């Protein structure tokens, strides 16, 4: 056992424990600490043979075990517990030491903590970690923020424990200063919400409109997973749909209550997008769809409302429809990522982070929940044109959407006619059509605003702001 650990982890619940084991398995001496010491003892008892662990029962002992400059990872509940732990450890640290917060913090909290600790000469590295407990152990996708100096010290270690993409590249990049890492992680989770919603809509269409069973849909997803939709989420969807409930012999998906949870990060992605004025309608619909699913009483009270009941189609038509759903899913997915990357670039501009969207797409290729072959395409798009204003401006994506759009529209027609809710597919298509529209009804909105609130408008033909005297002779005056 070493007396000088290269890195320390405090907070040894499922994520912290597995992250500590990952460092130890990669040859690092790891100091381990938890508020409740029994967790520390259990870790060393159960996994002590995996590497070099330095258990510590007190904060003082923990800090003393770390080589300088100290690298101290916090893996505790986000929010007040993180502040409590920082307050406990910061007085024990010296200038140049690093506190790495690997929890799911709100980026604004990370900015505040970074500022406060910087004044004391301590580097605060807000770090997004994706991949759940398996990722933490075998290699997550890691999104660190913080100073360039701290990344120089920490980066090689993170690269070693991170997931590796198919081309061997480590799934970690320095996202940018202060809260950039947690911001990128937040948008990652928002995109994850959208991906899951779109997959859910595809499932429901295949079930209710095409008439396939969950087992048959599992096969369809398996096939899709060999093509351009190849991704972790499609892969596990097939597994979940193929699973049969041991208790009832029914498809597992039919015995699970249809009320989805929504934790902080998806909601934050939408809230921040509203603040930044970025239209992330697909992510928003995914968050709202989960909220709606949870309103059991509202749904029960509305069940008798009029509307069509989907009539499953014949076998041949169903196969053709499944192909159309694949097109709709793929096109909607392109839009979700377009919106997510728009939020990342807008956040980067607002806070001066200089986030490289190509590097972000690259580190999402392995370890994280949204890992997918598709991310190689996004990276290639940014490689070709680093200042790409929108993924839809990439020639390859634009051509794919052009090829998919007839089927995308046909799927939505079927969904609307048969009464199957598809908020994600619909929002994605509405976004696409709004972007390509020659004229939007925003002109009428401006007219209304000028009518009731004298908010003024600008003209297409003359510079300046104008107001129409609606209550008088309707003449126009310059505002
Ligand atoms: N689970 C995931 O898949 C996942 C994925 C990515 C990121 N994360 C993030 O990673 C972090 C850790 O997640 P987790 O699921 O492993 O654990 P968790 O359930 O979020 O947190 C439990 C840990 O926090 C500690 N803790 C809570 N309040 C504390 C306080 N006031 N002072 C000191 N320690 C305190 C607990 O210590 P005691 O043992 O003493 O109670 C325990 O070690 C969270 O921020 C989470 O959001 C989780």
| Per-residue pLDDT reduced to its tens digit, 312-368 | 898 899 999 999 999 999 999 999 999 999 999 999 999 999 999 999 999 999 999
For 244, the 3-state DSSP assignment is strand
Compute the distance between CA of residue 458 and CA of residue 463 in angstroms, rounded to an integer. Answer: 7
Q: Judge residue 346's burial from the number of C-beta atoms within 10 Å of its C-beta, 0-12 exposed, 13-18 middle, 19 or more buried.
A: middle
> How does pLDDT run across 29-61, given as a tens digit for each residue?
999 999 999 999 999 999 999 999 999 999 999
Tell me which residue has its CA closest to atom 11 in ligand 1: 103
Report the chain's mean pLDDT, rounded to a whole number.
Answer: 96
Which pLDDT score is estimated for 393? 96
pTM over cut 0.85: yes
pLDDT score of 421: 98
157 touches 39 (CB < 8 A): no
Q: What is the pLDDT of residue 263?
A: 74
The pLDDT of 77-98, averaged and rounded, is 96
**Residue-wise pLDDT tens digits, 380-408:** 999 999 999 999 999 999 999 999 999 99
Specify the pLDDT at position 262: 73
CA 11–ligand 1 middle distance (angstroms): 6
Backbone angles phi, psi at 372, to 5 degrees: -165, 150
Inter-residue contact 363 to 184 (CB < 8 Å): no
* DSSP assignment letter at 70: P
Q: Whose CA is nearest to atom 30 of ligand 1?
A: 81
What's the CA-to-centroid distance between 296 and ligand 1, angstroms? 30
Predicted confidence (pLDDT) per residue in 109-160, tens digit: 999 999 999 999 999 999 999 999 999 999 999 999 999 999 999 999 999 9
Contact 111, 179 (CB under 8 A): yes
> Cα–Cα distance between 359 and 339 in angstroms, integer?
17
User: Tokens 């509202």 correspond to what residue?
Assistant: 298
DSSP type of residue 7: E
Residue range 271-283: mean pLDDT, rounded: 98
* pLDDT tens, position by position, 419-477: 999 999 999 999 999 999 999 999 999 999 999 999 999 999 999 999 999 999 999 99
CA 33–ligand 1 middle distance (angstroms): 12
What tokens appear for 473 in the block? 């002779």
Q: What percent of the chain clears pLDDT 70, i.e. is strictly above it?
A: 99
Minimum CA distance residue for ligand 1 atom 17: 13
Atom 45, ligand 1: residue with shortest CA distance: 103
pLDDT at 3 over 70: no
- Find where tokens 């999402």 sit: 364
Residue 1 has pLDDT above 50, yes or no: no
Q: Is the pLDDT of residue 2 over 70?
A: no
Question: Cα–Cα distance between 298 and 372 in angstroms, integer?
Answer: 36
What average pLDDT does range 171-191 have in this prediction?
98
CA of 90 to the centre of ligand 1 (A): 19
Could you list the active site residues? 185, 192
Predicted confidence band at 12 (pLDDT cuts at 50, 70, 90)?
A: very high
SS (H, E, C) 282-321: HHHHHHHHHHHHHCHHHHHHHCCCCCCCCCCCCHHHHHHH
Query: 190-211: buried (b, 16+ CB within 10 Å) or exposed (e) per residue?
Result: bbbbbbbbbbbbbbbbbbbbbb
Strand residue runs (E) in 53-163: 53-55, 71-74, 98-101, 123-130, 141-144
Instruction: State percent of the chain over pLDDT 90.
Output: 97
Which atom of ligand 1 lies at the shortest distance from residue 105's CA? 45
């Amino acid at each position: 056992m070493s007396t000088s650990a290269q890195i320390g982890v405090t907070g040894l619940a499922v994520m912290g424990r597995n992250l500590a084991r990952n460092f130890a398995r990669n040859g690092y001496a790891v100091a381990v600490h938890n508020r409740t010491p029994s967790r520390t003892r259990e870790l060393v008892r159960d996994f002590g043979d995996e590497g070099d662990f330095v258990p510590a029962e007190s904060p003082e002992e923990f800090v003393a075990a770390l080589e300088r400059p100290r690298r101290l990872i916090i893996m505790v509940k986000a929010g007040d517990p993180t502040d409590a732990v920082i307050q406990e450890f910061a007085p024990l640290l010296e200038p140049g030491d690093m506190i790495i917060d690997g929890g799911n913090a709100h980026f604004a909290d990370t900015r505040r903590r970074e500022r406060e600790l910087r004044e004391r000469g301590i580097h605060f590295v807000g770090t997004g970690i994706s991949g759940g407990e398996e990722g933490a152990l075998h290699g997550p996708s890691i999104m660190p923020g913080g100073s360039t100096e701290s990344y120089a010290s920490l980066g090689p270690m993170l690269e070693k424990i991170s997931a590796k993409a198919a081309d061997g590249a480590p799934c970690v990049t320095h996202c940018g200063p202060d809260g950039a890492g947690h911001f990128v992680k937040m948008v990652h989770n928002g995109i994850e919400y959208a991906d899951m919603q779109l997959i859910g809509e595809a499932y429901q269409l295949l079930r209710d409109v095409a008439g396939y069973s969950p087992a048959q849909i599992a096969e369809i997803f398996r096939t899709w997973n060999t093509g351009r939709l190849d991704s972790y989420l499609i892969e596990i969807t097939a597994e979940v749909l193929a699973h049969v409930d041991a208790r009832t012999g029914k498809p597992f998906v039919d015995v699970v209550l249809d009320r989805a949870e929504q934790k902080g990060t998806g909601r934050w992605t939408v809230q921040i997008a509203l603040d930044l004025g970025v239209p992330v309608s697909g992510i928003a619909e995914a968050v709202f769809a989960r909220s709606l699913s949870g309103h059991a009483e509202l749904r029960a009270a509305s069940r008798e409302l009029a509307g069509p009941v989907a009539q499953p189609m014949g076998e041949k038509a169903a196969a053709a429809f499944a192909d159309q759903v694949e097109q709709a899913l793929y096109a909607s997915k392109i839009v979700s990522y377009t919106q997510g990357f728009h939020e990342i670039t807008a956040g980067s501009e607002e806070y001066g982070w200089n986030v490289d969207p190509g590097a972000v797409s690259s580190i999402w290729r392995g370890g994280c929940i949204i890992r997918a072959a598709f991310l190689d395409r996004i990276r290639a798009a940014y490689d070709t044109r680093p200042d790409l204003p929108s993924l839809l401006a990439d020639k390859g994506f634009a051509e794919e959407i052009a090829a998919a759009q007839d089927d995308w529209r046909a799927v939505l027609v079927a969904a609307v006619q048969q009464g199957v809710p598809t908020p994600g597919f619909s929002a994605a298509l509405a976004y696409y059509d709004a972007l390509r529209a020659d004229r939007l009804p925003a002109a009428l909105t401006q007219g209304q605003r000028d009518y009731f609130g004298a908010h003024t408008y600008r003209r297409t033909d003359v510079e300046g702001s104008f107001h129409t005297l609606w209550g008088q002779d309707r003449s126009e005056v310059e505002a």
